[in-house]
Amino acid sequence: MKFITINKNNFFLNLKKQKRPWQNNYLSMYSTQWDGITTDPDLMMIPVDDHLVHRGDGAFDVMRCVRGSVYQMEEHLKRLECSAKAIFLKFPPVYNHIRDLIKSLILIGGERDCVIRIILSRGPGSFSTNPYDCPSSQLYVNVIRFHSLPQKYYKDGIPVISSSIPIKKSFFANIKSCNYLPNVLMKMEAIRSGHEFSISLDEDGFLAEGSTENIGVLGDDGVLKFPGFERTLSGITVSRVVQLAGELVKEKIIKDVKFTRILPEDAYNAKEMFLTGTSLNILPVITFDGKPIGRSIPGPIYLRLSSLLWEDMTGNSDLLTEVL
Which is catalytic among the residues 8, 19, 78, 176?
176
Beta bridge partners of 139: 120
**Residue type for position 228:** G
Q: Is 90 a catalytic residue?
A: no
CA distance 38 to 195: 36
Residue 161 near residue 185 (C-beta atoms within 8 A): no
| Pure H helices in the chain | 11-15, 51-55, 73-86, 98-109, 151-156, 170-173, 181-192, 236-250, 264-268, 300-315
3-state secondary structure of 320: strand
The CA distance from 56 to 65, in Å, is 26
Work out the widest C-alpha separation in the chain, in whole angstroms: 73
In the DSSP assignment, the letter for residue 76 is H
Burial profile 178-193: b = 16 or more Cβ within 10 angstroms, e = fewer: bbbebbebbbebbeee
The one-character DSSP state at 312 is: H
Specify the DSSP class assigned to residue 233: -
Backbone conformation region of residue 308, classed left if phi is above 0, alpha if psi is from -120 to 50, else beta: alpha
Catalytic sites, residue numbers: 176
